[in-house]
Amino acid sequence: MIKLQTESLTFFSPEDSQDSLGALYFDTGISAGFPSPKEDIQEQRLSLDNELIKNKEATFFARVSGQSMIGAGLDDNDLLVIDRSLEPENNKIAVCFLDGEFTVKRLRVDQDEIWLQPENPNYPIIKVTPDNEFIIWGIVTNVIKKV
């Protein structure tokens, strides 16, 4: 049996929240270098549902708890957008159920072998074997962070 150092994930689905509220959106980029002069700024409404969710019925959210994926930019308490309709592929970040626990890791697929690779050298790479109870729940498509 593999001993895991995993994150606990709290799941949400788009249906858990009320209808999307479009927020104000300015379509001109905001300079991260030198300030730019005011141009014709177009005020619009932006729905994060439309930006982040491609398939509402197959999308859910989970909050990360842990540090195993910090090298991929997934930090403790980040909110993940996960799409169950996407095919798992090598190098994708996936939410998996392994031996009774949920974890988020990068998929490494080599011929008939699957590895779950953390993005923190303090955590072990996990080889998935036929003895494991293993399900890929979905592919991470976006991460929402607090600053």
Catalytic residue among 68, 85, 92, 127: 68
CA distance linking residue 141 with residue 2, whole number of Å? 27
Q: Is 56 designated active site? A: no
| Closest to 69 (Cα-Cα) out of 96, 45, 37 | 96
Asked about 68 being catalytic, the answer comes back as yes
Options 13, 105, 145, 146, the catalytic residue: 105
Contacts of 95 (CB under 8 A, 6+ apart): 9, 62, 80, 82, 102, 103, 104, 136, 137, 138, 139, 140
Supply the residues annotated as catalytic. Answer: 68, 105
